[in-house]
Chain A
């Protein structure tokens, strides 16, 4: 991914900070457990075109108005960055030893 694209994501996050906060319950609550909110735990997956993917994103974020601004950037970046073939460079082969990958 080009630095310019990374910069766009960063700028967006700075501009929109506060629109999303990690889930945090009232300390007086009895439980931090939340309900599972998906009824589709297994689904068909796949897209071919930017239009397909854009539709998927809009569907996923239809209730998150603050995501509207970034949909196009995400869709374009996804298309631009697809690597047909992974070349296993030395840098890529081994996971970072002290940064958790998730």
Chain B
């Protein structure tokens, strides 16, 4: 039985193909169209999924959309009733899309796949899609499920219980009270974009002190013991289709919101720290409540929804031991909804039996396109690019150039599904280098200097470097660098010394793996195993043989504002536009100095606007 899951028409559209409950392929549309967070129907992602499954649209038994448009319409209409005179902007901003696109999603699918009266078209509740994406691929027979995001139809948070094939929502919170929107509101207030800046805001938090925590709690949130909360809407404008926060918020924080790309001041750092602390408190309360109410006989917690990408909170949850085991859907945002709704249809609509795997069923999240040796060779030859073909020696060679301090664009295997690059579409470098964080931020990613980089580490060595001895294959857990590896480093003294200049602060060596050690000694860890990614594992293993170090830097293969590369051509373009030294395409290696002169054919910095 083939089922196609689709998420689209909001942001981060994606498609997933499953066969008898097994995930065959999944990809985000942005990777094909090169439009960040592309919201359109995922035409190219669907095409890819069908090709990967070696089927045509006539073979599909069902197509499932990850959101119920009628229920969302209900929210839209009641939202304007609540707004009354103030409803003008939300009507202007949202109604076109609802009436011309979302309500017609069945026809949009027909237009892409052709009319087929046998194929069912189903819609699944948004948070059920998230819950299913977290539970079904997890390695657990039963689990408590927590989903947290901006908003689905009405729900913004759900607590559910999953048992084998069944998921039952027990409790939920409704719009406009939303942890995702609360977090996004402050992301906006601090000058970052609402659809792409949340992780920057999270990365900023360690620089600050939570001095605004009490102000926020007293004025903006009423949080209950079980983590449920209501927001004081007087400070927000999102419900009116305008910006996230309003003038009253500016008054509360003593001035206007930060202008995008302007200097980041102590105020923004402190707001980020305060909001992160409150977010963690809310999540912890919810998880403790869920354990008390539904988890007396369940040791497993699974998470999805955009807030589940808050890897700092995830890491603390893991360490808390409230639940013995935690699994987080790597495509936790809306893209992952395509996966969840397809699986939910398989198990709850069609009644398939679920086969629970001892690892998980996400296949490392390597669910996207792969390019064969032949395809890559043809591309390189046709383009006249200069390369060496190394065969089995490639891993050793990559390790050597890393050890020499070079920055490598690594393109191999199937593209990752979800926002993180996990070694198949990654830029990698030596984590021991003191200058690497600044170099990668400034000359390769062209992004803000304060932002940290993540480590990939051999699974068997993770505890030698980090205060974690567990799997973290999807880079969704943060843990501290081991104490014996740290250098004396006073963050706030340094901020004072350098007058808040974060570039100077990050130049200070904080451990013996400085390129992946954030200013609070934390790191967002990816553990790598031979079973899940043999190529990447061998590269790090060879690097360890040469250097004694099992850790390398791993950042996504793109520049700021660009979707992660999907095809060899995009990898080559990114390689040539930046200060990357080496490009590796499967077992082909390309050196920058050998390449023909690069002539730009487009204003790519305009095309990939800063995120």
Contacts and interface: CB of A to CB of B under 8 A. Distances in A.
Interface of A: 1, 6, 9-10, 12-14, 16-25, 27, 29-36, 38, 41-47, 56-57, 60-61, 66-67, 70, 74, 77-78, 81-86, 88, 93-102
B173 A32 contact: yes
A31 B226 CA distance: 7
Given A30-B226, A42-B125, A95-B39, 10 more contacts: A10-B80, A14-B87, A18-B84, A22-B82, A34-B172, A36-B155, A44-B122, A97-B193, A99-B93, A100-B150
B463 interface: no
Contacts of B125: 38, 41-42
A15 B344 CA distance: 41
B148 interface: no
A56 to B, nearest CB: 6
A48 B280 CA distance: 46
Interface residues of B toward A: which range?
A: 35 or more
Contacts of A88: 40
A96 B89 CA distance: 14
Contacts of A24: 230
Contacts of A102: 10, 150-151, 175, 181
Contacts of A17: 81-85
Contact of A13 (B35, B84, B226): B84
B87 A83 contact: no
Interface string B233-255: 10000110111100000000000
28 contacts: A1-B96, A6-B95, A10-B87, A13-B84, A14-B84, A14-B87, A16-B81, A19-B81, A22-B175, A31-B224, A32-B224, A33-B159, A33-B172, A33-B226, A36-B171, A42-B349, A43-B123, A44-B122, A45-B65, A45-B123, A78-B104, A86-B101, A94-B609, A97-B193, A97-B194, A99-B238, A99-B242, A102-B181
A34 B224 CA distance: 13
A41 B344 contact: yes
Interface stretch (B69-77, B362-370, B418-426, B471-479): B69-77
Contact of B121 (A45, A61, A78, A83): A45
B194 A1 contact: no
Interface string B342-358: 00110011000000000
B106 A45 contact: yes
B230 A14 contact: no
A77 B501 CA distance: 54
A6 B92 contact: yes
Interface string B179-207: 00100100010000111000000000000
B68 A45 contact: yes
B228 A33 contact: yes
A84 B171 CA distance: 39
B241 A86 contact: no
Contacts of B69: 45
- Please report whether the interface of chain A is mostly helix, strand, loop or mixed according to DSSP: loop
A32 B36 CA distance: 35
B52 to A, nearest CB: 24
A45 B70 CA distance: 9
A34 B81 contact: no
Given A19-B81, A45-B69, A99-B241, A82 B100 contact: yes
A36 B35 contact: no
Contacts of A56: 70
Nearest to B167: A41
A30 B124 CA distance: 30
B78 interface: yes
Contacts of A6: 91-92, 95
Contacts of B96: 1, 81
Contacts of B40: 86, 88
B91 A10 contact: yes
A32 B344 contact: no
Nearest to B72: A102
Contacts of B375: none
Contacts of B91: 6, 9-10, 13
Given A42-B125, A86-B40, A20 B81 contact: yes
Interface string B27-59: 000000001110111000000000000000000
Nearest to B348: A42
Given A86-B40, A98-B244, A60 B81 contact: no
A32 B231 CA distance: 11
A91 to B, nearest CB: 11
A1 B228 contact: no
B225 interface: yes
Contacts of B401: none
7 interchain residue pairs of minimum CB distance? A17-B84, A32-B228, A36-B169, A33-B171, A46-B106, A20-B81, A13-B80
A21 to B, nearest CB: 6
A94 B195 CA distance: 11
Given A14-B85, A41-B344, A99-B242, A77 B99 contact: yes
B37 A95 contact: yes
A98 B163 CA distance: 39
